[in-house]
Structure 1
Amino acid sequence: MATIELTTDNFKETIGAKDGKGTVIVDFWAPWCAPCRGFAPTFEAASEKHPDISFAKVNTEEQQELAGAFNIRSIPTLMVFREQIIIYAEAGALPASAFDQLIDQVKALDMDQVRADIAAQAN
């Protein structure tokens, strides 16, 4: 599956795709960032391997407003949205095996439990 170039214009549409029930993995990166460029092939390979997940990239140089909205301070930063909820956000490139494990964990999450945990924390 092709990686989506995420911008302020298509962000809400992308995160809310699949009737808000989808999973989107976002890579915040910049062209000058060597670790970002090193992680890019791993990210692309995962996007091919997992067609049921949307993979998106945010160029922090071009999309400073979007990067600022998520308080991105280090790149690369990976952020995972599932059913429009941020369930993972961490700076640093992952080796392919760790990225595959993260994707497996994301798929295995009980989203009813996640929503219940969020509701409990809000009270």
Structure 2
Amino acid sequence: MAVVTITKENFEQEVLQSAKPVLLDFWASWCGPCRMLSPVVDEVAEERTDVKVGKVNVDEQPELAGEFGIMSIPALLVFEQGKLVRQAVGARPKASVLELLG
């Protein structure tokens, strides 16, 4: 499944109303660890059809970053049935991202 670009305009529909668990990657283009994590998140999106994967550019969506208290990036947030259930900060190996999904 393709990665969805998440904005404050589509957040409710794509994340809160999603029937599937949602993995959100909060990132920025200037962030080195974000660039390391991005291909891992893309791989998870390709392999896990049971999960929706979205990316939030914190420079373009500061309201969303603020709403979830994102102080460090990359930050991964997992939502299930519209609720934030798990989160992790920093670049991590694929196994760790998959573990975060449960």
Count how many residue pairs are aligned between Structure 1 and Structure 2.
101
Task: Indicate whether 1:10 and 2:10 are aligned.
Answer: yes
Unpaired runs of 5+ residues, structure 1, are 106-123
Cα deviation code 1:56-80 (max 9, x no counterpart): 0000000011111111000000000
* Structure 1 position 17, deviation (Å): 2.1
Are the counterparts in 1 of residues 18 and 82 from structure 2 also a CA contact under 8 Å? no
- What is the aligned partner in structure 2 of residue 33 from structure 1? 31
State the alpha-carbon separation in 2 of the partners of residues 87 and 100 from structure 1: 14
Report the AA paired with residue 2 of structure 2.
A
Higher helix share: 1
State the alpha-carbon separation in 2 of the partners of residues 8 and 100 from structure 1: 26
* Structure 1 position 90, deviation (Å): 1.8
Larger radius of gyration: 1
Map 1:1-123 onto structure 2 (within 5 A).
1-15=1-15, 16-18=17-19, 22-103=20-101, 105=102
* Structure 1 position 101, deviation (Å): 2.3
* Structure 1 position 102, deviation (Å): 2.3
Report the AA paired with residue 53 of structure 2.
F
Unpaired runs of 5+ residues, structure 2, are none
Query: Segments of 4+ in structure 1 off by > 3 A?
Result: none
| Secondary structure at the counterpart of residue 89 of structure 1 | strand
Cα RMSD between the aligned structures? 0.9
Percent identity over paired residues: 39
Compute the TM-score of the two structures, normalised by the length of structure 2. 0.94
State the alpha-carbon separation in 1 of the partners of residues 75 and 100 from structure 2: 14
